A and B are shown apart, each in its own frame.
Chain A
Amino acid sequence: MPGRSARWILLAAWLLALAALGAFAIHALRIGTDLRSFMPPPQTADQKLLMDQIGEGPGSRLLLLAIDGAPEAQLADLSRGLADRLHSDAHFEQVVNGAFDPATLDDRLLAYRYLLSPTLDRHTLDATYLGEQLEQRIEDLASPAATLLKPLLPRDPTLETLALAERWAPPKPPALRDGVWFSADGAALLLAQTGGTGFDPAAQGAAIDALQAAFSALPEAATAKLTLSGPGYFTVLINANTRAEADRIGAVSTLGFILLLLLAYRSVPSLLLAALPVASGALAGVATLALAFGTAHGITLAFGFTLLGVAQEYPIRLLSHRRAGEDALASARALWPLLATAIVSAAIAYLAFFASGVSGLQQLAVFTIAGLIVAGLSTRHLLPRVLPARFRDAADTPGLVRAATFIDHLPRPRWLPWLLLALALLVLWRLPGPLWQNDLAALTPVPPDLLLRDAKLRGELGAPDVRYLLILDAPDADCVLAVSEALEPGLDALVKQGALDAAELPSRYLPSLATQRARQAKLPDAATLESALAEAGRELPFRSGLFAPFVADVETARTLPPLTPAEFARSPFGARLASMLVQQDDGWLGLATLSGVHDAAALDAFAESTQGHARLLDLKTASESLVIAYRERILRALGLALGLLAVTVIVALRSLRRAWHVLAPMSLATLLVLVVERASGISLSLFHLVALTLAAGLGLHYALFFERPVADAAEGRRTLHATIVCVLSALLVFGLQAWSSLPVLRAIGLTVALGVGFHFCLSILMARERRP
């Protein structure tokens, strides 16, 4: 037995090594939050697009804002103030609140107005058209609009700037009051497009924080209320809720876990030291991720820590199996063959995740394998050397003899497992209802009242639907714009028929080069325009020479090179257009957003009729197909893992019969969990599968240890003690999660808790050595 001082030195060295590992891990590992790195590689074109759309699509980056709770004039001021502040905020690409923004057309674009506006498609700047326009301007000058329009007239008598501002406003804008958008129930409305991707909780969180800070910094903001909605806001909200609830449950279950271990081992030092192997495993896992990948997804870590829960069994086994007259190292040595079998078989099983081809799952495998091995080795070699020499033999725990006798005398009918299996298969075969939950959103649901509010705001603002997109396909960006122009009449007809409320095509912002050139060709030269103007204004009271700036602008426009998407990108609406034009390996895509889709079938039929130029993308269907593909990979990986596990156990135990005693209860228990969840009407998701894997890992331990031949009754009681402590702690931690209000936590908690129960009972029933 090592001396007292040697113990302390080893402990200090261990802790130092952990601290160093932790510092390295924190320094070297970047934690990603973008959901896409946890998704399988997309296969179909729609899935590829979906991956781009998750986050980067125009719809998913849009935040809907409503301000209410104050008099209308104050709300309008707040809306203008907020828009002003957000205009200069790097988190936001575009903020609109309905206010006429004179900066919409800067000086550079102003001359382009005749190329951008559709006016010249229907008219020419001849004496007839100009005469009509000038007459209307006279009427405008006598109306209250005069003060507004007067500064524009000399340069823009046909009011092309207003025509463009109208064209670039959202397709179905809300009512204007006090110069800004208002909802029917009197809230000021705004739309904000974030720069960060929509399903990146970190980027969205930063944007929303900036937004709320900007709002509360406004004077008079105190009495008013800012309401947010949109995919980005939901992502942040759900993340915060899930984390808060997980933290709450985690705090309670940690406390219970500590009490349980204190009760089981009556020793504070043992309790503290027992935490070290798992801590070592977790830090080693993180450090390995840092070395191997440099980055890890937040979900990888969350799942990884869950799966590493298995490792908490190692120190518990060691503590329970110590016996009088033997030092801890000897106990560890005696336990090791079995622990090593468990660790190696689990590690080999997790190798199967590598075959999944999903980087998130590969990271998970690396983390878990490294964590399990380090936790196991430190339980074998380090923990026994630092444990206090004095301990209480677990075999002498009061009541344990009676419990052991009770369990020994339980009837163990050989037919019972077969009956359970038959019943389970019958239930699985006959049960109605979908087996799989493909809608990932169902696991992290947005509260219904928020969804209702979102639908209402979306309707009022005419904001695009996040589910449907019209995809335009063309060899280059300009061809996308030409296709978009060609689709305009058909879509307008569909809007009239009521198939949808509005569509927003890329050509709304920028016409194709050909269209721009055609408009340019219709512009008259200066002399022709002068004489047309003179004829048009002959009977009107405009001063002669008033429209010289107009004539100069038209002359400039005649020789301008047409605007390309790249040139347009620098304009205030450039970001909007850029988000609608996507470059791909073999061409360009245009994304037209649709608002208020009532008849998806009609839109689909319309898209079909365009000879492949356009198609309707249903993001929900595409994402569900992605989830199905993902699950198939996981299921294949798990099937492979099960095979590897069986082989490892058979090799380690060198006996088919003994391996059967270990593997049969584990497999049947997993099946029973499935049956119970299906019978309760639960459809299975990826989270259920991860939880089943963890439960199977725990069940493997129970079966391995119960199956182990023991020398005497006391050793049998120690095994029972260790297993009961393990079962109770797992039930405590995951049973609490099963009561969570969040479906994702409930899915994991319920599955593991059920699994632990079934694995324990079936291990007793099927794995334990029969004693006379």
Chain B
Amino acid sequence: MLERPLILRGELEYLGPGKLGKRVDTPYQEQTTVADGTASVRRGTRAPRTFALSQAPELEGFLRGFTALLGGDAGALARDFELAARGSPASWQLTLKPRDSRLARRISAIQVDGTGSAARCFRTRDADGDLNVLLVDALADTKVPTRPSQPLVDALCRGFKVP
């Protein structure tokens, strides 16, 4: 559907079991909260759009993955995803491939790059090839180009300073 990756800067927060917060700072402001089976997306001053995770069962697995990841629940993560890790403690990359076929029809993989105990980049690749990138933590201050190419995104996520 999209010609190039979408890059956001912001923060992901673990708010307890089954609860997740996502904040987007640029290029626009958005606050997403997932709790009690419901996701609520608030953008600017508009009324939040609320929907139930059960309306999109695949979404539930997706968010469960993120929650397990942020909560450090390796068991839960391995139950829902095939895991592959590479790199060094200073610069690692974790790839999650959904086991659930419904989720796999929508999302082909989630890639997380990080250093030490901190993640800095979440890449979600949709089944149709569209790529979503969320830069967090140290990278949140990085300047983001308006028309990023794939190699540029790769470099950003691995922590290289982009000129």
Query: Contact residues of A with B, CB < 8 Å?
Result: 72-73, 76, 99-100, 136, 138-139, 141-148, 150, 153-154, 176-180, 541-543, 546
Task: Find out whether the CB atom of A177 lies under 8 angstroms from the CB atom of B37.
Answer: yes
Task: Find out whether the CB atom of A142 lies under 8 angstroms from the CB atom of B1.
Answer: no
In the bound assembly, the distance between CA atoms of A146 and B4 in angstroms comes to 16
Task: Find out whether the CB atom of A148 lies under 8 angstroms from the CB atom of B56.
Answer: yes
Residues of A within 8 A of B38 (CB): 176-178
Residues of B within 8 A of A178 (CB): 36-38, 52-54
Task: Closest B residue to A150 by CB, please name it.
Answer: B1
Could you jot down 5 A-B contacts, CB within 8 Å? A72-B37, A73-B37, A141-B1, A176-B50, A541-B6
Task: Find out whether the CB atom of B8 lies under 8 angstroms from the CB atom of A142.
Answer: yes
Task: Find out whether the CB atom of B106 lies under 8 angstroms from the CB atom of A147.
Answer: yes
Residues of B within 8 A of A76 (CB): 37, 54
Task: Find out whether the CB atom of B37 lies under 8 angstroms from the CB atom of A541.
Answer: no
Counting chain A CB atoms within 10 Å of each CB, the highest count among B1, B39, B41 belongs to B1
Given contact pairs A141-B6, A142-B134, A179-B53, a sample of 16 additional A-B residue pairs in the complex whose CB atoms are under 8 Å apart: A72-B37, A76-B37, A99-B52, A100-B55, A141-B1, A142-B8, A143-B41, A144-B34, A144-B59, A150-B1, A178-B52, A179-B55, A541-B2, A541-B4, A541-B6, A542-B2
Beyond A139-B28, A141-B2, A542-B1, whether A147 also contacts B59 by CB under 8 A is yes
Where chain B touches its partner, the secondary structure class is strand
In the bound assembly, the distance between CA atoms of A541 and B48 in angstroms comes to 25
Q: Closest approach, in angstroms, between the C-beta of B100 and any C-beta of chain A? A: 12
Selected from A147, A150, A176, the residue in CB contact (under 8 A) with B52 is A176
Beyond A99-B55, A144-B32, whether A153 also contacts B1 by CB under 8 A is yes
Query: Contact residues of B with A, CB < 8 Å?
Result: 1-4, 6, 8, 22, 24, 28, 30, 32, 34, 36-39, 41, 43, 49-56, 58-59, 62-63, 106-107, 126, 130, 132, 134
Task: Find out whether the CB atom of B58 lies under 8 angstroms from the CB atom of A177.
Answer: no
In the bound assembly, the distance between CA atoms of A73 and B18 in angstroms comes to 13
Counting chain A CB atoms within 10 Å of each CB, the highest count among B28, B51, B59, B126 belongs to B51
Task: Find out whether the CB atom of B132 lies under 8 angstroms from the CB atom of A144.
Answer: no
Task: Find out whether the CB atom of A148 lies under 8 angstroms from the CB atom of B6.
Answer: no
In the bound assembly, the distance between CA atoms of A334 and B120 in angstroms comes to 113
Task: Find out whether the CB atom of B3 lies under 8 angstroms from the CB atom of A543.
Answer: yes
Task: Closest B residue to A141 by CB, please name it.
Answer: B6
Residues of B within 8 A of A177 (CB): 36-38, 52
Task: Closest A residue to B5 by CB, please name it.
Answer: A541
Q: Closest approach, in angstroms, between the C-beta of B153 and any C-beta of chain A? A: 13
Q: Closest approach, in angstroms, between the C-beta of B46 and any C-beta of chain A? A: 9
Closest 6 CB pairs of A and B: A179-B52, A179-B54, A178-B37, A541-B2, A148-B56, A541-B4
Residues of A within 8 A of B107 (CB): 147
Task: Find out whether the CB atom of A142 lies under 8 angstroms from the CB atom of B50.
Answer: no
Residues of B within 8 A of A180 (CB): 52
Residues of A within 8 A of B53 (CB): 178-179
Selected from B32, B51, B134, the residue in CB contact (under 8 A) with A148 is B51
In the bound assembly, the distance between CA atoms of A543 and B129 in angstroms comes to 12
Task: Find out whether the CB atom of A142 lies under 8 angstroms from the CB atom of B59.
Answer: no
Residues of A within 8 A of B4 (CB): 541
Task: Find out whether the CB atom of A145 lies under 8 angstroms from the CB atom of B41.
Answer: yes
Task: Find out whether the CB atom of B1 lies under 8 angstroms from the CB atom of A148.
Answer: no
Selected from B3, B6, B34, B49, the residue in CB contact (under 8 A) with A142 is B6
Q: Closest approach, in angstroms, between the C-beta of A96 and any C-beta of chain B? A: 15
Task: Find out whether the CB atom of B32 lies under 8 angstroms from the CB atom of A141.
Answer: no
Counting chain B CB atoms within 10 Å of each CB, the highest count among A99, A180, A541 belongs to A541
Q: Closest approach, in angstroms, between the C-beta of B149 and any C-beta of chain A? A: 12
Residues of A within 8 A of B58 (CB): 147
In the bound assembly, the distance between CA atoms of A177 and B24 in angstroms comes to 24
Task: Find out whether the CB atom of A145 lies under 8 angstroms from the CB atom of B54.
Answer: no
Q: Closest approach, in angstroms, between the C-beta of B49 and any C-beta of chain A? A: 7
In the bound assembly, the distance between CA atoms of A754 and B63 in angstroms comes to 74
Selected from B24, B54, B56, the residue in CB contact (under 8 A) with A147 is B56
Beyond A143-B41, A541-B4, whether A100 also contacts B132 by CB under 8 A is no
Task: Find out whether the CB atom of A144 lies under 8 angstroms from the CB atom of B39.
Answer: yes
Beyond A139-B30, A176-B38, A178-B38, whether A148 also contacts B55 by CB under 8 A is yes
